[in-house]
Amino acid sequence: MTQHRRAQHDGNRSAQKRASPAGVPQVGDVIRRLRKQRGLSVRTLAASSGISPSFLGAVERGDSDIALGRLALVAHALGHDVASLLGYSLRQSTPRFVEPARHGARGEGVEFSAFRIPGSHLELLVAHFAPHTRFDDSITHAGIDVAYMARGELVLVVDGVDYTLHEGCCVVWPSSHPHTMRNDSDTPAIAVGFATETVH
């Protein structure tokens, strides 16, 4: 999991914010703005969201990331859903190019690229499977996973049960359950998906 940015980064946080594209509020900025519009204190909003005031304050200042589950609690307390809050926070006049957070492998012949979505714990994953390859282990983490089969066919295994994914299908599952993927076919396969928590 991505480690939280701590208060020791205060010295360069202002420079980081100045380097952000103009007019692009971060999630913490949006939370602060909506909280003040509703006349809520940090302590009141934190209590309504079930999180600590110190953590909420750190998120508003940009000193800490917030997981999607906690963001959903804050959004609900503010009368929003997560999608609208994230859409608002990422609104801008020009596209932003997101560099891959990491290229890696999950087994011989299985390569992936992970793209971190700024201001959230959402991550876009693109996985390439050579024929007759598989993850080298099962995965568990908080949140949910969504996968779309862009090419070929894969077998998704959740809690030991096989689910065949055909080209063009989309599937979602709770990622707190052990899961893995494999390619039993003679052709390469590509899966594209979202994870609501960074796992790489």
Same domain, 115 and 82: no
Same domain, 162 and 129: yes
Question: What CATH number has the domain bearing residue 49?
Answer: 1.10.260.40
Same domain, 131 and 179: yes
Answer yes or no: is 34 within a domain.
yes
What's the pLDDT score for residue 149? 97
Ranges of beta strands (E only) in 40-81 are: none
Same domain, 167 and 83: no
User: What residues make up the domain containing 187?
Assistant: 102-195
Answer yes or no: is 154 within a domain.
yes
Average pLDDT over the chain, rounded to an integer? 81
Same domain, 107 and 180: yes
Same domain, 114 and 154: yes
Structural domain count, the chain:
2
Share of the chain above pLDDT 70, in %: 77
Same domain, 62 and 107: no
Choose one of 57, 89, 121: the last residue of a domain: 89
Maximum average pLDDT range among 108-117, 131-140, 178-187 = 178-187
Same domain, 74 and 154: no
Ranges of beta strands (E only) in 80-195 are: 102-107, 110-116, 123-129, 133-134, 144-151, 154-158, 161-165, 170-174, 179-183, 189-195
Q: Is the pLDDT of residue 52 over 50?
A: yes
